[in-house]
Amino acid sequence: MTRMKQALITGCDYGLGAELAREGLARGFRVFAGCLNPAKAAAMKMLAREHGRRLAVLRMDMGSERSVDRACAVIRKKTEKLHLLVSNAGVYWTDGLDRLSFKGLRRMFDVNAFGPARLARNLRGLLRASGEGRIVNISSESGSLALGKRPPADPGLRGEQGRPQHAGAPHVVRAREGRDPGRVRPPRLDADAHGPAER
């Protein structure tokens, strides 16, 4: 197997995710780029022409367990280790209570809250195998369910004030340790939309 470091980045259709994929490739990573709609991801098509097999574009709907499972199965076939997992995909709701769609609200939680956990659980074996796995969950303060300081319940992961229980445990990187990139607007969940897009 190659010694090249491997990274998975979600929400690479455009915007921040596409730039993270570009930066990862520039730093020598092999990048698995998760996209909701790869056929429309123009930035990924351009990067694929430049970097060839170092970029693998995968269809990944973070709100669908089946879609995530399929994408992760492809990743496990292509690599035995994963050094970096960046959960960047997200959607948001801004129409207020008068136009609130509970279907849209469930979709928002499924993508923003459950999606990263679903992905980390699915790939934790590859992250541990690297011996230096890192998980980066990108969100906003307005999207935070809690800003507490308790470590994750999973002893195989470590976060703020958490310690790994065994060698090779992936490290959860706190967003507050990084830089604020400024305002990045993910796609809206419109009240009448049947299939809201992710960033």
- Sketch the domain layout of the chain as residue ranges: 6-177
Radius of gyration of the chain (CA): 17
In a 3-state reduction of DSSP, which class is residue 7? strand
How many Å separate Cα 168 from the centre of its chain?
20
Helix (H) or strand (E) holding 8: strand 6-9
> Which of 13-27, 40-54, 126-140 has the weakest average pLDDT?
126-140
Question: Which pLDDT belongs to residue 157?
Answer: 41
As a whole number, the mean pLDDT across the chain is 78
Dist CA 121 CA 100 (whole Å): 31
Q: Which residues pair with 58 in a beta bridge?
A: 34
Structure token digits, residue 183: 């305002």
| 50-76 tens-digit pLDDT | 999 999 999 999 999 999 999 999 999
What CATH number does domain 6-177 carry, 1.10.260.40, 3.30.450.70, 3.10.450.50, 3.40.50.720?
Answer: 3.40.50.720
pTM of structure = 0.74
